[in-house]
Structure 1
């Protein structure tokens, strides 16, 4: 037996008195890199924290569903509240003033255009391309947000200027807060989809500032309306992303948020 083979066998054998069943196999570096790559792709395709820091709910969320019977509306509202609680987002007690509007309609294009034309401030942060994509979108569900820059103490900016009373080499001193979310559900296009699945999808987009432009990430409720949807409820990665959003320090740069969210999604795979 060669010296090389002898040394290899000695290295693989358990030490004297050691229980062979107690040997721990550690992860292969390549596998860890692959996990992180998948998590990074998930965050990228969700469209969160790409160019700007994450915007999340600071004020307690209060959903209100319109356009359907009260029983159906209650199911959707309850699902949003349930997911918000699980994610760590603040939830307003009822009754409350709605800041999340979920509207069922048989004409998603027409209603979206009418809302944006009548109340342009609701989507003031949208570019002309994003607005056009919303109006002409062919998806059964479309959404947009109202956001505001605030101080860490909840004070809004004035003409783009933020009064600061402390300094930090880590903090940006600015928090991006979700102020409203509007979700349009085209009932004609969504026909045949389980209500629980639609409610879960609605909760996902209402609680996180997600960009609907890139193809949806795999292993996500966001792929509900694809050719072969894998999930009809929130996946483990979906919940890991939401929990990550509501646990990270809000006053950080986008790349710092993105890095933390990738770590959160990767842990969600374990």
Structure 2
């Protein structure tokens, strides 16, 4: 397996004429105080419908970061990067996501571009390391045209932390099969600056939280049947949520507080929905 993630090439790309807008062109609305609030548990039926719309829980385990998360914001001036990074860390930390401290190697990128499609195409032509080892589904997510591109590199690890390759010799099978879990290694979201204009730092950071840490996404057709920051760019939802919602926080917290990391996706989704209702990890 090649090195799973390397930001050097993307950093060089942004400094060498990639379609990232000049700093003065980015004008998201800044927030005041940064807090994470929640109103309480949600009805079980509503929680389950929401999960079915924003997650793919029937195609294997739900992936989450196990290693500490080190986010990096690119393509904006410091006066916007710092508040987005701060808000991202506060929401993630309040939901039991492990965050790297001090100087760390980024494994999560939030990238702002003049034209997201053009940047992705440039990265694809240059065989950017951000696409290394992605499966077909993740590549489709990365290359799908639109103002938002979000994808994750996920692997399967056994209970010793080793990557499970599935390449066992059929003539010499292993005697004991280890339990495995699906783990997010890195995550990237690339966003058009034009799409982000008029949105607050809080909205942008909270949206990035759900796309990168959870892998949640707006449904391809129709709107989400619950208030969700994932509706931020849905023209049918006006006004969009001002921040991450109770549904979103319940999913984020439920995923990162799962007690059994080896359960299957359907069972994980059920346990998360129960956590959303009771407020207790399962």
**Structure of higher CA gyration radius:** 1
1:216-236 CA distance string (max 9 Å, x none):
532110011123144121101
State the 1:164 CA deviation. Answer: 7.8
1:123-146 CA distance string (max 9 Å, x none):
62133xx645643433x4321001
Q: TM-score, normalised by structure 2?
A: 0.73
In structure 2, stretches of 5+ residues that fail to align are 1-41
In structure 1, C-alpha distance between the alignment counterparts of 2:66 and 2:233, rounded to whole Å: 30
Q: Structure 1 residues 261 and 116, CA, compared in 2 at 3 Å: closer, same or farther?
A: farther
Q: Which moved more, 1:182-191 or 1:98-107?
A: 182-191
In structure 1, C-alpha distance between the alignment counterparts of 2:89 and 2:195, rounded to whole Å: 25
* Aligned residues: CA RMSD: 2.6
In structure 1, stretches of 5+ residues that fail to align are 1-33
State the 1:155 CA deviation. Answer: 1.4
Q: Structure 1 residues 160 and 114, CA, compared in 2 at 3 Å: closer, same or farther?
A: farther
In structure 2, C-alpha distance between the alignment counterparts of 1:266 and 1:137, rounded to whole Å: 36
Is the CA contact (8 Å cut-off) linking 1:66 and 1:73 kept in structure 2? Answer: yes
Q: TM-score, normalised by structure 1?
A: 0.75
2:148 alignment partner in structure 1:
141
Q: Structure 1 residues 164 and 94, CA, compared in 2 at 3 Å: closer, same or farther?
A: farther
In structure 1, C-alpha distance between the alignment counterparts of 2:145 and 2:242, rounded to whole Å: 22
Is the CA contact (8 Å cut-off) linking 1:123 and 1:145 kept in structure 2? Answer: no
More helix by share: 1
1:244-264 CA distance string (max 9 Å, x none):
001112111111111112212
